[in-house]
Chain A
Amino acid sequence: MHIGYLAIVLHGHLPYIHHPEAPEMLEERWLFEALTECYLPLLDVFESMQKDKVPYRLTISLSPTLITMLTDPILQERYVRHLEKSIELAVLEQERLQNAPQYQSLSVYYLKKLTELKKQYERYNGNLINPFKQLQQQGCLELITTCATHGFLPLMNCRSSWRAQIQTALELYASHFDHPPAGMWLPECAYAPGLDELLREYQVSYFFVDSHGIYNSRPTSIFGTFAPVCTPAGVAAFGRDPESSRQVWDRHSGYPGDPIYREFYRDIGYDLPLDYIGPYLPGNNIRVDTGLKYHRITGSDPDKQPYRPDLAKKRAAEHARDFIQQRYEQLKKAGRQMHRQPLVLAPYDAELFGHWWFEGPDWLNFLCREAADSDSLRMVTPAEYLKAYPNNQVVELPMCSWGAGGYNQFWLNPSTDWIYKHLHHAEEKMTDLADGHRNAQELEIRCLNQAARELLLAQSSDWPFIIHSGTAVEYAKQRFTNHIGRFNALASMVDTGNIQIDLLEEIEARSKFLPDIDYHVFSSCDMVGRPSTARASYRILMLSWEYPPQTVGGLARHVHDLSCSLAALGDEVHVITCPVSSRGSYSLYRGVHVHRIRPELLTSDDFINWVGQMNNGMAEMAGNLVDVFGPFDLVHAHDWLVVEASKLICGQMKLPLVATIHATEYGRNHGLYTDLQKHIHSLEQELTKQATLLIGCSRYMCQEIARLFNQPIDKIAVIPNGVDPKNILPDREKSLSRSGRGKNILFLGRLVPEKGVQVLIEALPAIIQKAGPVKLYIAGKGPYQQELAEQAKSLGVAAQVHFVGFVNDEDRNKLLDQCDVAVIPSLYEPFGIVALEAMAAGLPVVVSDTGGLRDVIEHGIDGYCVPPGDAAMLAHYTTELLNNPELAQHFTRRAKRNVAVKFNWRQIASDTLKVYAKAIAISALN
Chain B
Amino acid sequence: MLSSIDRMELPRWYDENKMVLMVVTPHTVFLYWELAFSQWKAVAGHQLIVRLFALAPEQPTEQPRLVTSAALPVGTENWYFNDLPADSQYQADMGWEQDGVFYSLLKSNSVRVPPAEPLGVAREAQWQSMKLGHLPGNIAATTSKPDITVNEILNQMSFYMGIHNTTS
Residues of A within 8 A of B (CB): 21, 154-155, 157, 193, 215-220, 222, 230, 232, 234, 390-394, 398-400, 405-409, 412-414, 417, 420-422, 424-425, 478, 481-482, 484-486, 488-489, 503, 506-507, 510, 546, 549-557, 604-608, 610, 647, 662-663, 668, 674-676, 678-679, 682-683, 685-686, 689-690, 692, 699-700, 703, 712-713, 715, 721, 748-750, 755, 779-780, 806-809, 812, 831, 833-834, 854, 858-861, 865, 872, 876, 880, 884, 886-887, 890-891, 894, 918, 921-922, 925-926
Residues of A within 8 Å of B106, CB to CB, are 859-861
Nearest-neighbour CB distance to chain B for A102, whole angstroms, equals 46
What residue of chain A has the Cβ atom nearest to residue B151's Cβ? Answer: A605
Q: How far is the CA of A689 from the CA of B142 in the complex (A)?
A: 12
B141 at the interface (CB under 8 A from A): yes
Seed contacts A409-B24, A690-B138; 15 additional CB < 8 Å A-B pairs: A220-B118, A230-B127, A407-B24, A408-B25, A412-B24, A421-B20, A422-B11, A506-B5, A552-B158, A554-B162, A607-B148, A676-B148, A679-B146, A872-B101, A890-B16
Selected contact of B161 from candidates A390, A809, A833, A872, CB within 8 Å? A833
Sample of 10 A–B contacts (CB below 8 Å): A392-B127, A425-B18, A510-B5, A551-B164, A553-B157, A663-B160, A689-B140, A750-B163, A876-B103, A886-B38
For the complex of A and B, the 8 pairs showing the least CB-CB separation, nearest first, are A860-B106, A485-B8, A553-B160, A554-B161, A398-B114, A886-B38, A675-B146, A219-B123
Q: Give the residue among B106, B120, B146, B164 with the most A Cβ atoms within 10 A.
A: B164
What residue of chain B has the Cβ atom nearest to residue A691's Cβ? Answer: B138
Residues of B within 8 Å of A876, CB to CB, are 103
Contact with A along B151-168 (1 / 0, CB 8 A): 011100111111111111
Residues of A within 8 Å of B153, CB to CB, are 607, 610, 676
Q: How far is the CA of A155 from the CA of B7 in the complex (A)?
A: 26
Q: How far is the CA of A503 from the CA of B6 in the complex (A)?
A: 12
Nearest-neighbour CB distance to chain B for A113, whole angstroms, equals 36
What residue of chain A has the Cβ atom nearest to residue B129's Cβ? Answer: A391
Given A219-B123, A703-B60, A812 contacting B163 (CB threshold 8 A): yes
Q: How far is the CA of A716 from the CA of B26 in the complex (A)?
A: 28
Q: How far is the CA of A861 from the CA of B92 in the complex (A)?
A: 13
B159 engages A417 (CB within 8 Å): no
Residues of B within 8 Å of A390, CB to CB, are 128-129
B162 engages A834 (CB within 8 Å): yes
Nearest-neighbour CB distance to chain A for B23, whole angstroms, equals 6
B74 at the interface (CB under 8 A from A): no
Selected contact of B8 from candidates A222, A486, A557, CB within 8 Å? A486
Residues of A within 8 Å of B141, CB to CB, are 682, 685-686, 689
Selected contact of A749 from candidates B10, B117, B150, B163, CB within 8 Å? B163
Nearest-neighbour CB distance to chain B for A686, whole angstroms, equals 5
Selected contact of A552 from candidates B32, B36, B119, B157, CB within 8 Å? B157
B24 engages A553 (CB within 8 Å): no
Nearest-neighbour CB distance to chain B for A766, whole angstroms, equals 13
Q: Give the residue among B101, B122, B131, B152 with the most A Cβ atoms within 10 A.
A: B131
Q: Give the residue among A157, A393, A553, A891 with the most B Cβ atoms within 10 A.
A: A553
What residue of chain A has the Cβ atom nearest to residue B145's Cβ? Answer: A608
B76 at the interface (CB under 8 A from A): no
Q: How far is the CA of A703 from the CA of B62 in the complex (A)?
A: 12
A921 engages B132 (CB within 8 Å): yes
A715 engages B135 (CB within 8 Å): yes
Nearest-neighbour CB distance to chain A for B11, whole angstroms, equals 7
Residues of B within 8 Å of A663, CB to CB, are 159-160
Q: How far is the CA of A554 from the CA of B157 in the complex (A)?
A: 10
A417 engages B30 (CB within 8 Å): yes
B163 engages A748 (CB within 8 Å): yes
Q: How far is the CA of A606 from the CA of B145 in the complex (A)?
A: 10
Selected contact of A393 from candidates B112, B115, B126, CB within 8 Å? B126
Selected contact of B23 from candidates A407, A485, A503, A552, CB within 8 Å? A407
Q: How far is the CA of A409 from the CA of B125 in the complex (A)?
A: 32
Nearest-neighbour CB distance to chain B for A160, whole angstroms, equals 16
B152 engages A607 (CB within 8 Å): yes
Nearest-neighbour CB distance to chain A for B77, whole angstroms, equals 8
Given A417-B32, A712-B136, A887 contacting B24 (CB threshold 8 A): no
A216 engages B130 (CB within 8 Å): no
Nearest-neighbour CB distance to chain A for B43, whole angstroms, equals 11
A155 engages B125 (CB within 8 Å): no
Selected contact of B60 from candidates A422, A700, A715, A809, CB within 8 Å? A700
A880 engages B138 (CB within 8 Å): no
Selected contact of B166 from candidates A232, A400, A408, A549, CB within 8 Å? A549
What residue of chain B has the Cβ atom nearest to residue A214's Cβ? Answer: B118
Residues of B within 8 Å of A215, CB to CB, are 118
B83 at the interface (CB under 8 A from A): no
What residue of chain A has the Cβ atom nearest to residue B42's Cβ? Answer: A884
A216 engages B114 (CB within 8 Å): yes
Selected contact of A553 from candidates B19, B105, B164, CB within 8 Å? B164
Q: How far is the CA of A486 from the CA of B9 in the complex (A)?
A: 9
B38 engages A606 (CB within 8 Å): no
Nearest-neighbour CB distance to chain B for A393, whole angstroms, equals 5
Given A421-B32, A485-B8, A780 contacting B107 (CB threshold 8 A): no
B22 engages A420 (CB within 8 Å): yes
Selected contact of B145 from candidates A398, A679, A685, A715, CB within 8 Å? A679
B140 engages A686 (CB within 8 Å): yes
Q: How far is the CA of A383 from the CA of B17 in the complex (A)?
A: 46
What residue of chain B has the Cβ atom nearest to residue A669's Cβ? Answer: B159
What residue of chain B has the Cβ atom nearest to residue A608's Cβ? Answer: B145
Nearest-neighbour CB distance to chain B for A680, whole angstroms, equals 9
User: Which residues B54-111 have CB closer than 8 A to chain A?
Assistant: 57-61, 78, 80, 87, 93-94, 101, 103-107, 109
Q: Give the residue among A420, A605, A780, A887 with the most B Cβ atoms within 10 A.
A: A887
Q: Give the residue among B42, B101, B148 with the most A Cβ atoms within 10 A.
A: B148
What residue of chain B has the Cβ atom nearest to residue A683's Cβ? Answer: B143
Given A887-B39, A890-B38, A391 contacting B127 (CB threshold 8 A): yes
Given A610-B150, A859-B107, A392 contacting B128 (CB threshold 8 A): yes
Q: How far is the CA of A554 from the CA of B166 in the complex (A)?
A: 11
Q: How far is the CA of A886 from the CA of B35 in the complex (A)?
A: 13
A484 engages B10 (CB within 8 Å): yes
Selected contact of B128 from candidates A394, A400, A554, A689, CB within 8 Å? A394
B165 engages A551 (CB within 8 Å): yes
A676 engages B114 (CB within 8 Å): no
Q: How far is the CA of A220 from the CA of B115 in the complex (A)?
A: 12
Given A21-B6, A482-B5, A506-B3, A555 contacting B22 (CB threshold 8 A): no
What residue of chain A has the Cβ atom nearest to residue B157's Cβ? Answer: A552
Given A216-B114, A925-B132, A699 contacting B159 (CB threshold 8 A): no
Residues of A within 8 Å of B123, CB to CB, are 219-220
A806 engages B24 (CB within 8 Å): no
B150 engages A605 (CB within 8 Å): yes
Residues of A within 8 Å of B78, CB to CB, are 417
B38 engages A779 (CB within 8 Å): no
Q: How far is the CA of A858 from the CA of B137 in the complex (A)?
A: 39
Q: How far is the CA of A674 from the CA of B156 in the complex (A)?
A: 13
Q: How far is the CA of A478 from the CA of B162 in the complex (A)?
A: 55
Nearest-neighbour CB distance to chain A for B62, whole angstroms, equals 10
B146 engages A676 (CB within 8 Å): yes
Given A607-B152, A675-B146, A808-B166, A926 contacting B25 (CB threshold 8 A): no
Q: How far is the CA of A549 from the CA of B57 in the complex (A)?
A: 38
Q: How far is the CA of A297 from the CA of B131 in the complex (A)?
A: 52
Residues of A within 8 Å of B147, CB to CB, are 675
